[in-house]
Structures are given as C-alpha cells and as structure tokens.
Chain A
Amino acid sequence: MKTNFSNVLIIMLTLLMTTALVFTADSPVQADTKKLKVGMIMPLSGPISVVGVGLTRAVELYFNKINEAGGLQLGGDTYMLELIAEDSKVDPTVSATATKKLVYKDGCRFVFGAIAPPVAAAIYQVCAKAKALHLITWIDAPGLAGDVSPKKPYAVRLCISSDAGWEMDYDYLRKTYPEAKNLFIVAPDLGLPIDRAIKVAKERGLNVLGHELWEDGTVDFLPYYTKALAAKPDVIQAMCSAQAGYQLRTARQLGFKGIFISDAPTAPAFILSLAGPEGSHDVISNGMDMNSATPGMKECMNRWAKKYKEPFFSDSIITWVEAEVFIQALKKADSVDPKKVVAAFESMTAPGSFQTAFGPGHMGGDKRFGVNRVVVRPMPISRLMNGKIEFVGFKMPVVDK
C-alpha cells in the first residue's frame, strides 16, 4: 500500500481542529481579578435586534463611563468592567447555550437579559446552576416565567413592567379628558394582567368596553382595530407594544379620532414619525420625550453619538438606568459576590436609595412577589398634540399592587 496522501491529510486536519479547540478553550476562572466580566444576552439578530442592540449599547456606554472614571472600588480591589454580549435569537435553547458560554467559558458572574420570557427563564436555569446573578432586563408582564420570585435566589429585576404605568396613565386621562369614559384595550397575547387594568380603570370611573389580543409577530393590525372600533370607544389603549406607532396609524386610517394611550416605553417621537403629524393628536405615551431629557439621559445620548453612527435609540436609556442601579448595588455590597449583591439590593428599599437618570428610586415588590427584588423608579408621561410632543412629567409607578 503506497503512502496515502489523502489519508494523512484527513488525520492532520482532524488533529489540527482538535488542537485548535483545546487552545481556544478558556479556563473558567477569572484569570485577571481586576476585570469584572458582565454578560448580556439580547436578540442581536432577527426582527427585534434594533431593541437588543440598542439596549446592549447603553450598558456598554455606562460601563465605559465607569471605567473612564477609574473603575469600581470593591472590597479593596479596583475593577474595570467588561461587557460581553451574546445573541439570544429569541430562542431559549440558543440563549441557554450562550449563557453557558458567558458563565462557564468567560467567567461572568452577572448576566443581563433578556426580552422574551422563555429566554429569561432559560437564562435563569443556567445562572442558578452556576450561582451567577441574573439581572432581568425587560419584562412584558409581571409574574411571567422569567420574573423574580422567593424561589429564585439568583434573580433580580432591574426593569419596570409597563403595567406599572396604568395608574398614572388613567389618572392623566381622567384629568385631561374628563368626558372620555369608554376604553378599549388592544394588547399582545403575552399574559398581561388585563384584569388588573380593568380594575384600575373602574376605580377611576372608566368603563372598559372590551379587549383584543394580538399574537406576537403581528404586522397587520387592521383586523384588531376593526373589531376595536366596532365597539365605538372614546379611548383606545395599545398595551405594551413597540408597534404603538403602527397601531395608531391603523386606527387613524380607519377613521378613529379619539384618544390613544401607549403604555410602552417607546418614544413619542417614534410614534410621531410612524403615525404622521395628522394622526398624532390626543396621544398619551409612557415613552420619554428626549427634548426634555435629564442630564443623565443627555450624557447617555452624547456618548452614543460619539461612538455609533446610528441615531440614538431612545429605549436604550432604560438599560443605561439599569446599569446605574447595578453599579450602585455593587458599591453598596462592596463585593462581587452575587449573593452579597442580592442582599444589597434587598436592603435598598427606602425611597431614594439609588439615583437614576429618571430620578430617585428604590427596590420594591415585597407585597406582590414576596421579595424586594424589583426596581421602582420614575416613569415619564408625554402627550402628543397637533404633531408636537408635550412632556408632562415623571411619576412613580405602582409596582406592588
């Protein structure tokens, strides 16, 4: 048998690959104790990647700010923050693998994430096993699979669910439009506590005529708004949807002239751009009017403009603020041990325990979830009239009911 070249080639190739594998495999221990590695799992590709990328960038920008000021002093050591972002692809299996990489390969002990509840739950499964802290970045509705609970020692929620804004929205509605009594709700089919909305509305003298649930991924809202308008409401509330602008446009295209509420953090400017000036009247939004940005938000915007060419994605201030809270908790714990950080969070329940770009906040959630592991911080209200944004102000949300 003559020396088979192809034979040798196959063997060499396989050996090469195996060697490459071995050498690229990192040790799970944080080799450099002066680096605090924080992981983040967001949809970096796919339809909602705008959101995922935007939210990730804000955290990165905030970490840059801390590093520029010399890093964090914790427990006698100085730490520089490093953010490692992975793609969730809105799929729990992919996210679980990505979390494993962050936790076991990169050695992160804190993981931010995610947007969809199954993904958040998958991340938590891996984090809990590895005793890493899962910082919940986004939630559609409280109490869903990925949320905090006394049974989950390694989960802390840094974000506010949009349902916490209902009290302030309905109050503002009653004050500004006293004749509007009939409300119709158009909400995504994600398990939102619609009963709570109906109760809160009733308390304020509003009559909920009905609700329509649309499924995730809908682009065409016409059928839902057809049914909504058939009930002849004065007010339509588009719950928890970054597509509020499209929904408003659809409503106006069908001839709806009434009041529109969007309780998602989507910026009113975005709604305006989609619905156009003629359609943007009598709109109440819990998004931030960036013309009235606070100094903290302005700093975030400036840093973004210096680093990225895309225009500022206004939802990003949410994670900028989450990063702020996270750092303050780390400082309070004076340690990088996840358990100590959780304890620090739970101790910050007095109003004003931490400062954010939205205003002072504290931890809450005891009455509703059984543990004080949910961030409570001011939410903005804006109004769109005649194609112009009016900033109404900040109000504290209701997290504990």
Chain B
Amino acid sequence: MQNSLSLMKGFGWIILAAASIAAPPLLANIYWTSVMNMIVINSLMAASLRTIFLIGEFSLGHVGFMCIGAYSSALLTMKAGLPFGITLPAAGLMAGLTAILIGYPFMRVKGIYFVILTVVTSESFRLLAYNWRSLTGGTDGLIGFPGAGSLSIPGFAQIDFTGFTEYYYLTLTVVSSSLFILYRLEKSNLGFTWITIREADKMASAVGINVLKYKVINFSIACFFAGVGGALLAHSEQTLSPQASSVFGVMTTIYFLVYMVVGGKSSFIGPIVGAIVLSFIMEFTRPMQEYQPMIIGAIAIAVVMLLPEGLASIPAKIDKWRAKSLNPLT
C-alpha cells in the first residue's frame, strides 16, 4: 500500500514537471504563459505557508512578507542598479530578517492569537509601503523598474529575461529549487524538530530544545521564500502598488491560506495542488468576476467541513476505499 502510494506520488511529480515545462511552447500564447507564471509563484507561497504549519502555526500574514520582498527587489534594481541575480536573494533576506526581528516577540504567542498578529502585521507592512512616499512612491506605486535583465553563460548562450517565456522558465527554475529546498528541510533533522515542537512543545523544551529559537528559524525561512516569491512577482510585470485591493491586501493572504487548506496541509504537495487547482478555477471564472470570491469561499468551507485533509488526500482515500471494498473485514 505504501509502495503504490509513493509510486503514485512520484508519477504525480513527473506529470507536474512535464506539464509545467511543456506548457508554454504548447500553448504558444503570452497570456497563458503569464497565467502559469502566477500559478508557479502562488505554489511557492502556499508551500512556504505550509512550512509554518510544520511548527503548528498558521500565518495569515504571508502576503506582508511577499510585499517586503517585492518592494526590496524592485527598489534595489531601481535605485541601486543591482542585477536581479543579487536582488532576488536579497529580497528573500530582507523578508527573512524582518521575520527574525518580529519573530522573537511574536513567537511567544500561539494559536489563534498568532494568526491575528500576522494579519495585523501584514496589513501594517502594506500600510508602510503605502505611506512611505519617498521610498516606495506611495499610492502611485512603482512602475517600470528594471526587469530580470539578462544572463550570459559564457560560451553557452545569452538569455534575455525580458521575454515573457524566458521569465517564466526563470520563475519555474527558482520556484522548483525553492520547493526542493523546502522539501529537504522538512525531511531533515531540522524539520523533524519542527514537527516535534508542533506535536508536543512542552516535552520538546523538557528535552532541552530551545523551542523559541527553532520556531523563529522556521518562521524566517518560510518568510524568506515568501520574499523570493514577492521578488518574482514584482519583476514579472515590473509594476507594484500598495493599494488595499492589490495583490498585497488581506484578500490575497486569505487566498494563500485557502490554497493550502484546500490542497491539503498534511502533505508537501498539498498546497501546490491547491494553488494550481484554485488558480485554474479563478482563471476560468473570469467572466463572473463578482462571484469569484464566493466560489472560492464556498470551496474552502466545503473542503473544511467535508474533506478536511484536502484534495491531496483523495488518492489515499480512494486507495483505502478500494482496499475496503476488496476486503470487507478491514
């Protein structure tokens, strides 16, 4: 049973990889490429949100760190003229460092209290971008800052990332590497410690684990990747705006949470599945814009009440059902 499940998982990954690599030339349309770009970024956001779940917390403030990353990268390319290759990790670092700074006070607070804190915090980051005119341009936002530039691999080729398709592959590469890192972290000793903290933090501290330290590390790594996602977002269109209804508003952070829960928070691929499926649904419901939040909200409630483990748990459930029907005694 375990064997076929992991084989299925392997298959799933291969299909995913193949589809995401082959899609742009197959579809030959800039618009769809940019949609896939957003889906890929959303997957990273949902997956890094799940990392925080490993220590048993929910963050409704992920979008705030995305905002920090986006603005950091944009401003560094604009004002300091640094190339994307540097500003991308720098954006992540800014987000990660901020997470460390507020992590120490915030991590003392748990559960629902933490969730509320994250919402308030992320709104404040957005308001900071909104009000700090001299730095971020305030309501005008930032327009037309440099894109990802170009990369020359000596002796190989010169890749110009201003093209939409090239940028998509860049995003795909960055996100895949990030997901790989997150996955390995989860399976490592560090990840194990995190899960221990989630399951029994009092016991963990009794054994001598510095619970606070590990929580902060977790939070900052997750937010690092949120920052990376933000940088990728910023340079895809080269525009940013801190309006309440923009990508950096409360709605988006709710959507990230919904992606994670609908996809399934117990498995690594869950949030990614959620991001993909829901992004597609949102794309296909374009003609009924006003109903979009309703549809997403209804899906979220339905999943939470009927299928709490999310979509990614469907294969496992089907397996169990099959096994049951074959052997009525189990």
Q: Is chain B in direct contact with chain A in the complex (CB below 8 A)?
A: yes
A residues touching B (Cβ–Cβ < 8 Å)?
1-2, 4-7, 9-11, 14, 17-18, 21-22, 25-26, 28, 43-47, 86-87, 89-94, 96-97, 100-101, 103-105, 116-119, 121-122, 125, 144-145, 189-191, 215-217
Q: Which residues of A contact B319 (CB under 8 A)?
A: 4-6
With A14-B19, A91-B246 known as contacts, the answer to whether A118 contacts B289 (CB < 8 A) is no
A248 to B26, CA, bound (A): 57
Q: Are A7 and B290 in contact (CB under 8 A)?
A: no
CB distance from B280 to the nearest CB of A (A): 7
Q: Are B11 and A11 in contact (CB under 8 A)?
A: yes
Q: Which residues of B contact A91 (CB under 8 A)?
A: 241, 243, 245-247
Q: Which residues of A contact B238 (CB under 8 A)?
A: 125
B153 interfacial contact with A, CB 8 Å: no
Size class of the B contact interface (CB-based, 8 Å)? 35 or more
Q: Are A89 and B245 in contact (CB under 8 A)?
A: yes
**Secondary structure of the B contact surface, majority rule:** helix
A116 to B322, CA, bound (A): 55
CB distance from B32 to the nearest CB of A (A): 6
- A-B pairs with beta carbons under 8 Å apart, 28 shown: A5-B322, A6-B5, A6-B319, A7-B8, A9-B315, A9-B318, A10-B8, A10-B15, A17-B280, A18-B19, A21-B23, A21-B32, A22-B27, A45-B290, A91-B246, A92-B239, A93-B246, A94-B247, A97-B35, A100-B31, A104-B29, A117-B141, A118-B139, A118-B240, A144-B140, A191-B140, A215-B131, A217-B244
B34 interfacial contact with A, CB 8 Å: yes
| Residue of A43, A93, A121 touching B236 (CB-CB under 8 A) | A93
CB distance from A103 to the nearest CB of B (A): 8
A45 to B3, CA, bound (A): 48
Q: Are A93 and B29 in contact (CB under 8 A)?
A: no
A220 to B115, CA, bound (A): 29
With A45-B290, A101-B31, A117-B140 known as contacts, the answer to whether A216 contacts B243 (CB < 8 A) is yes
- Sorted from nearest, which 9 A-B pairs have the closest CB atoms? A92-B239, A118-B141, A91-B246, A6-B315, A96-B237, A121-B143, A105-B31, A46-B245, A122-B239
- Residue of B whose beta carbon sits closest to that of A49: B290
Q: Which residues of A contact B29 (CB under 8 A)?
A: 25-26, 28, 104-105
Q: Are B237 and A93 in contact (CB under 8 A)?
A: yes
A310 to B252, CA, bound (A): 30
Chain A proximity mask over B285-313: 1 for CB below 8 Å, otherwise 0: 01001101000000000000000000000
Q: Which residues of B contact A217 (CB under 8 A)?
A: 243-244
A63 to B277, CA, bound (A): 36
A10 to B311, CA, bound (A): 11
Taking CB atoms and an 8 Å cut-off, the chain B residues in 169-199 that contact chain A are none
Q: Which residues of A contact B27 (CB under 8 A)?
A: 21-22, 25
A215 to B34, CA, bound (A): 32
CB distance from B74 to the nearest CB of A (A): 12
Q: Which residues of B contact A119 (CB under 8 A)?
A: 241
**Listed residue (B241, B244, B319) with the most chain A CB atoms within 10 angstroms of its CB:** B241
Q: Are A1 and B7 in contact (CB under 8 A)?
A: yes
With A21-B32, A92-B240, A100-B34 known as contacts, the answer to whether A215 contacts B139 (CB < 8 A) is yes
| Residue of B142, B239, B315 touching A125 (CB-CB under 8 A) | B239
Q: Which residues of B contact A92 (CB under 8 A)?
A: 141, 143, 237, 239-241, 246
Q: Are A118 and B239 in contact (CB under 8 A)?
A: yes
B275 interfacial contact with A, CB 8 Å: no
18 new A-B contacts at CB < 8 Å, known A87-B286, A122-B237? A1-B3, A4-B7, A6-B5, A7-B4, A7-B8, A21-B23, A22-B26, A28-B29, A90-B246, A91-B246, A92-B239, A93-B239, A93-B241, A96-B34, A100-B31, A104-B31, A105-B32, A145-B140
Q: Are A100 and B30 in contact (CB under 8 A)?
A: yes
Q: Which residues of A contact B143 (CB under 8 A)?
A: 92, 118, 121-122, 125, 145
CB distance from B270 to the nearest CB of A (A): 14
CB distance from A135 to the nearest CB of B (A): 19
**Listed residue (B27, B32, B130, B315) with the most chain A CB atoms within 10 angstroms of its CB:** B32
Q: Which residues of A contact B292 (CB under 8 A)?
A: 45
Q: Which residues of B contact A125 (CB under 8 A)?
A: 143-144, 237-239
A7 to B315, CA, bound (A): 8
Q: Are A116 and B11 in contact (CB under 8 A)?
A: no
A17 to B27, CA, bound (A): 13
A6 to B8, CA, bound (A): 7
A72 to B87, CA, bound (A): 50
B102 interfacial contact with A, CB 8 Å: no
Chain A proximity mask over B219-251: 1 for CB below 8 Å, otherwise 0: 000000000000001001111110111110000
Q: Are A93 and B240 in contact (CB under 8 A)?
A: yes
| Residue of A47, A97, A105, A121 touching B38 (CB-CB under 8 A) | A97
Q: Are B32 and A189 in contact (CB under 8 A)?
A: no
CB distance from A216 to the nearest CB of B (A): 5
B16 interfacial contact with A, CB 8 Å: yes
B81 interfacial contact with A, CB 8 Å: no
- Residue of B whose beta carbon sits closest to that of A106: B31
CB distance from A100 to the nearest CB of B (A): 5
Q: Which residues of A contact B28 (CB under 8 A)?
A: 25
CB distance from A299 to the nearest CB of B (A): 28
A72 to B151, CA, bound (A): 48
- Residue of B whose beta carbon sits closest to that of A217: B244
CB distance from B323 to the nearest CB of A (A): 10
- Residue of B whose beta carbon sits closest to that of A118: B141
Q: Are B34 and A97 in contact (CB under 8 A)?
A: yes
Q: Which residues of A contact B243 (CB under 8 A)?
A: 90-91, 116, 216-217
Q: Which residues of A contact B144 (CB under 8 A)?
A: 121, 125
Q: Are B7 and A89 in contact (CB under 8 A)?
A: no
- Residue of A whose beta carbon sits closest to that of B27: A25
B111 interfacial contact with A, CB 8 Å: no
A91 to B144, CA, bound (A): 14
Chain A proximity mask over B127-145: 1 for CB below 8 Å, otherwise 0: 0001100000011111110
CB distance from A290 to the nearest CB of B (A): 27
B12 interfacial contact with A, CB 8 Å: yes
A168 to B275, CA, bound (A): 54
Taking CB atoms and an 8 Å cut-off, the chain B residues in 31-62 that contact chain A are 31-32, 34-35, 38
Q: Are B12 and A10 in contact (CB under 8 A)?
A: yes
- Residue of A whose beta carbon sits closest to that of B317: A6
